[in-house]
Amino acid sequence: MAGGAGYVTVIGLEVHAQLLTRTKMFCRCPAAFGEEPNTMVCPVCLGLPGALPSVNREAVSMAVRLGLALGCVIERESAFARKNYFYPDAPRNYQISMYDRPLCTGGSLVFEDEGTEVNVRLERIHLEDDAGKLLHGRGGHSLIDFNRCGVPLAEIVTRPEIHSPRQASLFLRRLRQMLRYLEICDGNLEEGSMRVDVNVSLRRTGDDALGTRTEIKNLNSFKAVEAGLEVEIKRQRDELESGGTIVQVTSLWDAREKKLVTMRSKERAHDYRYFPEPDLPLLIIGEGWIEEERAKIPELPLDRERRFRREYGLPAYDAGVLTAESDIADYYEETANLTGEPKTSANWVMRDVLRELKSTGGDIGGFPAGPAALAGLIDLVKGGVVSNSAGADVFAAMIESGESAADAVKRLGLECISEVNELEEIVDRVLESKPDEVERYHRGKKQLMKFFVGQVMKESGGKADPLIVSGILRRKLGE
């Protein structure tokens, strides 16, 4: 394990997922981004004297859905609590979170690590509100933008059951995929709609007691999570091996310098003085509400991946790639069902569609060739109307013009010349015009077959099927 000989690495994660609700957690301001600073605010999210929070049911619904998808217990009664600390991005100087009575408890997330299934259990999921954003150094002042203040967050806390930086990253990728499948968070680490704090400690092999843990914040990508953990684990191991002890600290990951910067030590740790939020009654979730949310849960990534392998006979790699995003999986599935050719469809989607999306940075929703269009092309290739090689050109034409496969083929004149008579004429013409090469072929220079095929293909404008062409050539050349 990454802890090195003699040590077991123990990692726990805390993930904040910004929920895609229309309005904020405790007021009716739009949860919108990219607006002018301090325009999406009201007395409630500004924490003005006398203003009171009221719970956004949509945020609760989303968290319940997440809890159900992760196999958590949805607590019938949960309670909001105040987390007290002074900081200018929190206008009440307390955050409304959940403490000893979270919304969801237990649950787990499964992912694959080099072919082995890993199951990480969860501690809890709870709801809280986001803080504003501080903008430092404008003319010597710090400015505050409260637009983000009050946007709902679901905090997902794992048990300390992750044992390597790679596992941490795999866990997070799977969690992100879940959040996106459930359409409750866009899971963007760079932009902070999904934020990760990690806790890590080393335990001597065979020892039961956990070591002293440290915390790392500001991990803005999966890569940063892995790199930050690697650095910290090495630091802890060196410290322990040289007979030192680990001090409980919180560090920030500096992605540019690839190093950890200590933020605060335990002596300076906050006493958040949590207590039940008196402005909000207990959050009561009835059976009906839970069932309503359960009904909204789509087929989840792992189930879908397994079904793709089973139902479409896809290799594990293909199934994994095609189910990474639910809208790609939908696109593939519709295409495969239309063509009845699951593997061919998988090749087209993975090779042509995904490559195109990657190079344009677009998403499948706005892709000019829908599943029906792609299925049309696959049918034409399968039916021999278009050659496999011409198919790529047809596809390019389709996404440029938005026309159907048949129209593109017609416009480009790329139908296969399948009439044998027509092909035989072309072959005859080619052989007649190349007497020297025919002579050399007959004398044993059989490699020239490739040359003849190429000449026929050229003459046909690429519309001939090379397999048929070489058949005719062999016959004509007296094989």
When asked if residue 152 is in the footprint of another protein (CB under 8 A), the reply is: no
Residues 203 and 10 sit within 8 Å (Cβ to Cβ): yes
CB of 57 to another protein, least distance (A): 12
Among residues 153, 177, 133, the alpha carbon closest in space to that of 20 is found at 153
Q: How far apart are CA 97 and CA 322, in angstroms?
A: 37
When asked if residue 263 is in the footprint of another protein (CB under 8 A), the reply is: no
Size of the site for another protein (CB under 8 A): 28
CB of 182 to another protein, least distance (A): 27
**Range 19-48, binding another protein (CB under 8 A):** 43, 46-48
CB of 217 to another protein, least distance (A): 19
When asked if residue 53 is in the footprint of another protein (CB under 8 A), the reply is: yes
Main-chain dihedrals φ then ψ at residue 133, nearest 5 degrees:
-115, 135
Q: Which among 67-75, 89-97, 165-173, 361-369 is the span making contact with another protein, rule CB under 8 A?
A: 89-97
Q: Please spell the DSSP secondary structure of 365-379, one letter per residue.
A: GG-SS-HHHHHHHHH
Q: Which among 15-23, 84-92, 407-415, 441-449 is the span making contact with another protein, rule CB under 8 A?
A: 84-92
Q: Which among 205-213, 218-226, 270-278, 294-302 is the span making contact with another protein, rule CB under 8 A?
A: 270-278
Q: Which residues contact 262 (CB under 8 A, 6 or more apart)?
A: 249, 250, 251
Hunting for tokens 């957690």 — which residue is that?
A: 25
Q: How far apart are CA 50 and CA 200, in angstroms?
A: 42
Q: Please spell the DSSP secondary structure of 73-138, one letter per residue.
A: EE-SEE-EEEEE---TTSTTSEEEEE-SS-SEE--EEEEEETTEEEEEEEEEEEEEE---EEEEEE
Q: Which of 63, 67, 94, 175 binds another protein (CB under 8 A)?
A: 94
Residues 247 and 266 sit within 8 Å (Cβ to Cβ): yes
The structure tokens listed for 451 are 């040359």
Q: Which of 67, 91, 150, 160 binds another protein (CB under 8 A)?
A: 91
CB of 74 to another protein, least distance (A): 20
When asked if residue 49 is in the footprint of another protein (CB under 8 A), the reply is: yes
Q: How far apart are CA 16 and CA 412, in angstroms?
A: 52
The 3-state secondary structure of 410-466 reads: HHHCCCCECCHHHHHHHHHHHHHHCHHHHHHHHCCCCCHHHHHHHHHHHHCCCCECH
When asked if residue 284 is in the footprint of another protein (CB under 8 A), the reply is: no
Q: Which of 271, 419, 436, 479 binds another protein (CB under 8 A)?
A: 271
Q: Which of 35, 77, 238, 279 binds another protein (CB under 8 A)?
A: 279
Q: Which of 35, 39, 88, 347 binds another protein (CB under 8 A)?
A: 88
Beta carbon nearer to another protein, 88 or 340? 88
Question: Counting Cβ atoms within 10 Å, is residue 192 exposed (0-12), middle (13-18) or buried (19+)?
Answer: middle
Q: How far apart are CA 55 and CA 24, in angstroms?
A: 9
The β-bridge partners of 135 are 143
CB of 272 to another protein, least distance (A): 9
**C-alpha distances in Å from residue 253, one per residue of 168, 187, 259:** 16, 19, 6
Q: Which of 39, 54, 205, 347 binds another protein (CB under 8 A)?
A: 54
The structure tokens listed for 147 are 């637009």
CB of 373 to another protein, least distance (A): 49
CB of 88 to another protein, least distance (A): 5
When asked if residue 86 is in the footprint of another protein (CB under 8 A), the reply is: yes
Beta carbon nearer to another protein, 271 or 436? 271
Q: Which of 280, 300, 338, 449 binds another protein (CB under 8 A)?
A: 280
> Pattern of binders to another protein over 107-146, x per CB under 8 A?
-------------------------------------x--
Beta carbon nearer to another protein, 51 or 392? 51
Q: How far apart are CA 197 and CA 14, in angstroms?
A: 5
- The β-bridge relationship of strands 214-219 and 249-254 is parallel
Beta carbon nearer to another protein, 48 or 73? 48
CB of 151 to another protein, least distance (A): 19
The structure tokens listed for 468 are 């048929």
**Range 165-224, binding another protein (CB under 8 A):** none
Binding site for another protein (CB under 8 A): 43, 46-55, 82, 84, 86, 88, 91-94, 144, 271, 273-275, 278-281
